[in-house]
Amino acid sequence: MAEQLDMFNVMKEATETAKDSPLVTEMKALIDKLNEASRAYYAEGEEIMTNKEYDALYDRLQELEETTGIVFSASPTQNVGYEVQSQLPKEAHPQRMLSLDKTKDREALSAFAGDHDCLLSWKLDGLTVVLTYRDGELFKAVTRGNGEVGEVITNNARVFDNIPLKIDFTGELVLRGEAVITYADFELINQTITDDGAKYKNPRNLCSGSVRQLDPGITRARHVKFFAFALVSAEGLEFRTREEQFDWLSDRGFKVVEHRTVNGDTVADGVEWFAAHIADNPVPSDGLVLTIDDIAYARSLGTTAKFPRDSIAFKWQDETAETTLREIEWSASRTGLINPIAVFDPVELEGTTVSRASVHNISVMRELGLGIGDRITVYKANMIIPQIAEDLDKTGSIEVPGTCPVCGGETTVVNENGVETLYCRNPRCPAKQIKGFAHFASRDAMNIEGLSEQTLEKLIDIGVVREPADIWHLMEHREKIVSMDGFGEISLKNLVNAAEKARDVQPAAFLYSLGIPNFGRANAILIAKHCRNNWQAMRDLTRDELLTIDGIGEVMADAYTGFFKDDEKNRIVDDLLKEVRLDENYEEGGNLLTGLTFVITGSLETYPNRDALVQDIEAQGGKTAGSVSSKTSYLINNDLLSNSGKNKKARELGISVISEEDMVRWLREGVRPE
């Protein structure tokens, strides 16, 4: 076995997946950097590099594209137009695309390989797509469909994150690969969906829907990626091995599926390598594929009626373990959906210890027949996600709770298409107020560092945070919190320290943190200034008094007074006042910039950050905004001649562009800009 392992390691080192060439590596780095700058500018209103820097990087990217003949779809040099279609056209494949025979037996893989070199690779869990290139450009993309007829998705394929739109090969090229969405992108997309019932179940389902969109703009937003796993034909070229094909595709800018070269003696070690890297694989997979490397020999094997004889799929043999069910936790979400979570005696599965598994809904729980104390078998689906396979006792003794675990409100069972789910009926349940809690902890409000929306959701789920004041009592629930997934003693300590640091707060920030409808940070500052930072005066403002404050209209005044007339909201505020220390000291600010609105863009030289400049502007009665409009008085940009979007907009509207130095001088000399 040691000799076989040595042989495998030598062969692995000699046949690592082809790496990008230095020029392609540089191109990808430039694309990432330029796109990051574009996102910051257009989506966030910030410039993280000067126009000069951007132009220099852009020019270098164009130079590399001309040198290599490779142009990636994500490249900012491409201006891909979208055409929304009413339906996807169908197209028959030139020859039927066969499925692979499957096995869960590692010895069967060894027998299949024999003394032939084979490529062992991930079996990616996405949607198979066939790409055709002609004259060096992407000509057509078709899904596998039923193997005989697929759907034409060319417009969508053009916006996949990583496929080249142009390559340095002018003959017809046909290749197959898998369109996938990474776990990270899957989680980010699901986080934007507030309705738990509408969340995507797994990356594959999301990918399938994304690839087959009628609007390519939606496809682009889903960050679909393509991994080539087979070169069907390259006009005028012949290859000896599939490894050579992969190398050739890599040189043309394609990302090929991760693979290792093995034979009958080393395939078991290869399987072990992939098994050990499942947790680190960012792309969903549901097994491995073993393919004969020698192309001529592979072709000589032919096919059966269903399968090609040159490849075989390996499906993971799910490792199961028997344990005892100890508890069902009911986890509430922001939509009111309450899911059952099974808690059982810890067991070892696939090299890790597991003690919890989602049961999904009431229907699954009842179908399994779960009961406290029952013997159950558990496994990891695709060696990753813990699941309950079977309840050996089936006592079915678990009762559905009549009250919400978070707020204690009444629950109801909803039956949709035969699937029963549990919901909390209380509209004020803290689990439904996640956005409000996240706003409370945000930087411009209480500024509790590290208290993310995801962390808040976990704390609310386990019932330790029901209202904002509970954030300062986390140590009372130490054991519950440190047992949360992804949490521990250090995480708890950091969170407690951040909460302590946030106790001292200005009245304006505290007012903003309460999340009064229609009230932004600037409005809170106006009210605090009007009341000279006296909290009780701020709280007691009448509608008529509010309307005397410049910038406060009737809608805002009604929302404000309505908030402080609500008994429950006043109770929450009173609880908070027991935890925080309001700094009500007040220094009369100037009126130098009253009536003026400023937009800040680009990098700063004198001020450490934008917040510091904003604070000085607001202290003199000025306002700030994120975008240039007809209401903007001045645009602050140290690059006065910039061709950025904000500068162009300012010039179109006749708005003066000033430098940071101009603003510093006005504030220092007390000169009001004209």
Q: Which long-range contacts (CB under 8 A, 24 or more apart) does 407-415 make?
A: 407/431, 407/466, 411/338, 413/362
Residue 640, Cβ neighbours under 10 Å: how many? 13
Angle of CA points 511, 516, 518, to nearest 5°: 120
Backbone angles phi, psi at 207, to 5 degrees: -65, -45
Q: Is 14 left (phi over 0), alpha (psi -120 to 50) or beta?
A: alpha
Helix (H) or strand (E) holding 625: strand 623-625
The answer to whether residues 406 and 423 touch, using CB atoms and an 8 Å cutoff, is no
User: Closest Cα to residue 32, out of 161, 157, 158?
Assistant: 161
The whole-angstrom separation of Cα 338 and Cα 414 is 11
Q: Of the candidates 363, 361, 386, 377, which has an alpha carbon nearest to the alpha carbon of residue 325?
A: 377
Q: Helix, strand or coil for residue 618?
A: helix
C-alpha distances in Å from residue 504, one per residue of 438, 439, 445, 449, 507: 18, 17, 12, 14, 10
Look up residue 246 and give its two tokens.
């992969």
Check if the beta carbon of residue 330 is closer than 8 Å to that of residue 462. Answer: no
The sign one gets for the Cα dihedral 377, 378, 381, 387 is positive
Residue bearing tokens 């560092």? 449
Classify 159 as helix, strand or coil.
coil
The CA angle 503-505-508, to the nearest 5 degrees, is 145
Beta-sheet pairing, 173-180 with 504-505 = unpaired
How crowded is residue 37: how many other Cβ atoms within 10 Å of its Cβ? Answer: 21
State the CB neighbour count (10 A cutoff) for residue 476.
Answer: 10
List residues with catalytic annotation. Answer: 123
Helix axes 267-276, 106-113, angle to 10 degrees: 130
Six-digit token string for 488: 């521990």
CB atoms within 10 A of CB 19: 10
With tokens 């402080």, the residue in question is: 564
* DSSP letter assigned to residue 79: -
Q: Which of 471, 459, 406 is nearest to 432 (CA)?
A: 406
Q: Which residues of 580-594 are buried (b: 16+ CB within 10 A; e: fewer)?
A: bebebeeeeeeebbe
In degrees and rounded to multiples of 5, residue 348 shows phi and psi of -90, 125
Which residue in the block uniquely carries the two structure tokens 């852009």? 58
Distance CA 501, CA 510 (A): 14
Contact present, 372 and 326 (Cβ < 8 Å): yes
Burial of residue 89, with CB atoms counted within 10 A of its CB: 0-12 exposed, 13-18 middle, 19 or more buried: exposed
Q: What whole-number distance in Å separates Cα of residue 444 and Cα of residue 612?
A: 12
Structure tokens at 374: 């029952």
Distance between CA 638 and CA 601 in Å, rounded?
8
In contact, 342 and 328? CB cutoff 8 Å: yes
CA angle 510, 512, 515 (to 5 degrees): 115
**CA–CA–CA angle 523, 526, 529 (5° rounding):** 150
